[in-house]
Amino acid sequence: MKKNLRKISIFAIKLLLLLIIISIAWVTLYKFVNPPTTPLMIIRSFEGNSGLNLIKTDWKKYDDISDYMKMAVIAAEDQTFADHDGFDFHAIEEAIDDKLEGNRLRGASTITQQTAKNVFLWPERSWTRKVLEAYFAVLIDNIWGKKRILEVYLNVIETGNGIYGVDEAAQVYFGRSAKGLDLVDSALIAATLPNPRVMSASKPSEYVLERERWIREQVGYLGGLSYLKKIK
């Protein structure tokens, strides 16, 4: 019995080490190679409402995306992006406090965590996924760096029904490339990110317009485009 337990333990340790090696290799590969698809894109394709958009072919490099778009998502989703190590513990504490006060649990995920989830994991809410999300967030923060994380995020996020990435959103909603987005257009796209399949950047509701104005104010509060100098 003891021998069997020892064999099982050794096998489990070896399997864990193998999975860690594979995950590190996977993350390292995506530092240099653009992810061709994401789990969410595959899931949406099976839902029958996003066509066969499984392969991400219209990838835009960091410098080919408007700085206004970069700042809009930072202002909307993660204002401490340049400073944290993958997690915004202050935002997590505030979200927990809100929940304890009886309010609805709000998201406190950083852009790093969202990127880890989008690229490597499934969208289901569960403790298992959250633990893996934290693990991959640590990996990409240390292996990729902030600039690569932001580039990947802006290319793979869902920005509409069957639309992925800010360049495709820019083309569909405003008839221009991601490089040509101004602050208003960028803020409108960023304003829809909580639910891009329902909210529209080209036909914004009053809520989206209000959020767009708030995002533009926050961009100014963060120091405008000069904030991007901190991203390496």
Residues 85 and 171 in one domain: yes
Q: With cut-offs at 50, 70 and 90, classify the pLDDT of residue 106.
A: very low
Same domain, 24 and 59: no
Instruction: Give 110-164 pLDDT, tens digit per residue.
Output: 999 999 999 999 888 888 888 999 999 999 999 999 999 999 999 999 999 989 9
Q: How many Cβ atoms are within 10 Å of 224's Cβ, its own excluded?
A: 13
The percentage of the chain sitting over the pLDDT mark of 70, rounded to a whole number, equals 85
Rounded CA-CA distance 181/143 in Å is 29
Q: What is the pLDDT of residues 51-70, one digit of tens each?
A: 455 556 689 999 999 999 99
Q: Are residues 41 and 29 in the same domain?
A: no
Sorting pLDDT into bands at 50, 70 and 90, what band is 10?
A: confident
Q: Indicate the pLDDT class of residue 219, thresholds 50, 70 and 90.
A: very high
Per the structure, the complete domain to which residue 101 belongs is given by 36-230
Q: 172 and 113 in one domain?
A: yes
180 and 93, same structural domain? Answer: yes
Task: Check whether residue 10 and residue 68 sit in a common domain.
Answer: no
The domain tally of the chain equals 2
Co-location of 29 and 41 in the same domain: no
Contact status, residue 49 vs residue 161, Cβ threshold 8 Å: yes
**Per-residue pLDDT averaged across 31-48, rounded?**
88
